[in-house]
Amino acid sequence: MKTGVCKLCLTETELCNSHIIPEFAYTRLYVPYKGNDRRLLKLNFEKGAKLERTRYKKGLREYLLCRKCEEKFSCYETYVSGLLKKLFSNQLDDMVDIKVDYTKFKMFELSILWRCGITNISNYHINLGEKHLEKLRQVLNNNSFVNFWQYGCFKLLNFYNNEIVYDLILKTEGKKFNGLRVYGIYFYGIQWTFFVGSENHRLQDKRFEDGFLLQNGGLKIVRLELMNNTFLMKLANEIYG
108-162 residue pLDDT tens: 999 999 999 999 988 899 999 999 999 999 999 999 999 999 999 999 898 888 8
How large is the average pLDDT for residues 63-74? 96
pTM given for the model? 0.85
Domain boundaries, the chain: 2-240
* Average pLDDT score, the chain: 83
Instruction: Give the number of C-alpha atoms closer than 13 A to the C-alpha of residue 135, restricted to the C-beta side.
Output: 15
pLDDT > 70: percent of the chain: 83
Residue 1 has pLDDT above 80, yes or no: no
Give the strand pairing for 12-19 and 31-32: unpaired
- Max CA pair span of the chain: 55
Pick the range with the lowest mean pLDDT from 51-65, 149-163, 174-188: 51-65
- Predicted confidence at residue 178, as pLDDT, reads 84
- Predicted confidence at residue 35, as pLDDT, reads 52
* Contact criterion met (CB below 8 Å) for 164 and 128: no
Higher pLDDT, 79 or 55: 79
- Predicted confidence at residue 50, as pLDDT, reads 45
* Predicted confidence (pLDDT) per residue in 8-45, tens digit: 999 999 999 999 999 898 877 765 555 544 445 444 44
How large is the average pLDDT for residues 50-57? 46
Residue 230 has pLDDT above 90, yes or no: no
Pick the range with the lowest mean pLDDT from 24-28, 51-55, 212-216: 51-55
* Contact criterion met (CB below 8 Å) for 51 and 44: yes
Which runs of consecutive H residues, i.e. helices, occur in 30-151? 67-88, 102-118, 130-142
How far is 67 from 107, CA to CA, in rounded Å? 18
